[in-house]
A and B are shown apart, each in its own frame.
Chain A
Amino acid sequence: GDSVTQMEGPVTLSEEAFLTINCTYTATGYPSLFWYVQYPGEGLQLLLKATKADDKGSNKGFEATYRKETTSFHLEKGSVQVSDSAVYFCALRGAGSYQLTFGKGTKLSVIP
């Protein structure tokens, strides 16, 4: 079945540091890929998405590129802020499927 593997956390960075959170997936066909973010005490919200190979999703300075050849969708941001502290989830939906499969989440803490 479909699965998502993302780097273990927690990750602690200083403000303005570069962020990468790795995500790889296993799926048949051409899934859609997502990054969700969860702030403390809240539900998940969509951060960005990509629906086909080589698509780049971007939002709020975060980017991720759908790499079919390496089955990856790594999240990056050039300069993190304290307000980016949250848990980040990589997820996929198989083509035509109603189910979304999530990774285990990576907790990011950004210190001033």
Chain B
Amino acid sequence: NAGVTQTPKFQVLKTGQSMTLQCAQDMNHNSMYWYRQDPGMGLRLIYYSASEGTTDKGEVPNGYNVSRLNKREFSLRLESAAPSQTSVYFCASLGQVNSPLHFGNGTRLTVT
């Protein structure tokens, strides 16, 4: 059982380039999330999808877009990367509301 799978694991972009971070879960979970983790800031929610077909902004959505492609997949897109988006990005999924989040192993993104 793979759980939550994120690709790629590492990425280096130049300012202004675009890219899509991929996330897939095989637990038949309804809800999926994108967080970013920065030193001293903990985890901050970028976007989430409570169920297939819906997406909502979190705490720090500016500069990002998301797509809930189907129940399994939730992608995060950076249209024009900026150095401030250098971070570690985590995808997570949730089955029922009172159950815990399941996290992927993260994507380390550097924007130069």
Q: How far is the CA of A76 from the CA of B101 in the complex (A)?
A: 22
Whether B105 and A49, one on each chain, are in contact in the complex, defined by CB atoms closer than 8 angstroms, is no
Q: What's the nearest-Cβ distance from chain B to residue A53, in Å?
A: 15
Q: What's the nearest-Cβ distance from chain A to residue B78, in Å?
A: 20
Whether A104 and B90, one on each chain, are in contact in the complex, defined by CB atoms closer than 8 angstroms, is no
Interface size class of A (residues with CB under 8 A): 20 to 34
Asked whether any CB of chain B lies closer than 8 Å to the CB of A73, the reply is: no
Contact of A42 among B40, B50, B105 (CB under 8 A): B105
B: which residues have CB within 8 A of A? 4, 31, 33, 35, 40-45, 48, 50, 58, 90, 92, 94, 97-98, 100-101, 103-106
* 4 nearest A-B residue pairs (beta carbon): A43-B103, A104-B42, A46-B100, A102-B43
